[in-house]
Amino acid sequence: MDGVSDQLTMRLDPPVPRLPSGLRPMLARPLPEAFDSSAHLFEPIWGGARALALIGPAAEAGMGDVALVAEDGTRGPAPLDLAGLAARVAARSAVLDGEIVVVDDAGRLDHEELARRFAGEPGRPLSYLAFDILDLDGRSLLNLTLDKRRAFLRQALRPGDEVVAVPSIAAEGKALFEAVTGQGLFGIRARQRTSPYLPGVRSRLWRSVAVGGATSARADAAAMAAATDIAGYATGRSEHVLALIRRLPLEFDEE
């Protein structure tokens, strides 16, 4: 009977979804100034290290349940700070898009501390700020609209110590840009609500506006280090990020 039970268990248990290969972050084209548009969703940008998070059993050989993919396609294991991402997704596997940050007490990015963490030094904990989802339980979401992908992200992600789902605001890009300028963030991202996800493409479907007229290159450059040479340390909390988000005119979902 034990053999029969084992065979039945093998038949009933669904196979572990295979994570997609070859994915890279979709990139935004820069604009010199903010704009309003009912066809867009607007989100704050901290200016951290851009990386996809591959989540699932043995996400990558020898990398545990969470692996990271930088803009250039480099893959590496997530630091211990972000190992809890796997428990924060209500699915057996997923691919998230976001940025890795270390924030100060006001919720702003600490560039120097982030650089030290990437260099393998101990310090304040890393957090992952998720704003998109590409794959869920083996189902590709790339061809869905941004609105539908964000709905999946809200349903799948359980925000916690190491991860925050970045909220958005519809239409009012100028108001959000003014707010992030006052809070000392890098800028905003404007994404067409009907946009599919185009891996590795810098598309006009996504636009970025940096505070102070800087280009998006400063934010993009940090992402190159996101998946490599990152040491792990104890987990921390994202209260400072949440506190800053609540000061912005965003559609914040407590769930």
- Residues 6+ positions from 17 with CB-CB distance below 8 Å: 56, 92, 93, 137, 138
Maximum pairwise Cα distance, the chain: 71
Mean pLDDT for the chain? 85
Contact 57, 65 (CB under 8 A): yes
Q: How many Å apart are CA 179 and CA 183, to the nearest integer?
A: 6
Contact 98, 129 (CB under 8 A): yes
Query: Percentage of the chain with pLDDT > 70?
Result: 80
Q: Which pLDDT band, with edges at 50, 70 and 90, does 224 fall under?
A: very low
CA torsion, ordered 237, 243, 245, 247, to nearest 10 deg: -170
Domains of the chain as residue ranges with CATH:
22-245 (3.30.470.30)
Q: What is the mean pLDDT of residues 113-134?
A: 93
pTM of the model: 0.86
Question: Within 10 A of 63 (CB to CB), how many other CB atoms are there?
Answer: 16
33: exposed, middle or buried (C-beta count within 10 Å: 0-12, 13-18, 19+)? exposed
Question: Cα dist. 26→62, 111, 200, 205, 207 in Å?
Answer: 26, 23, 5, 10, 11
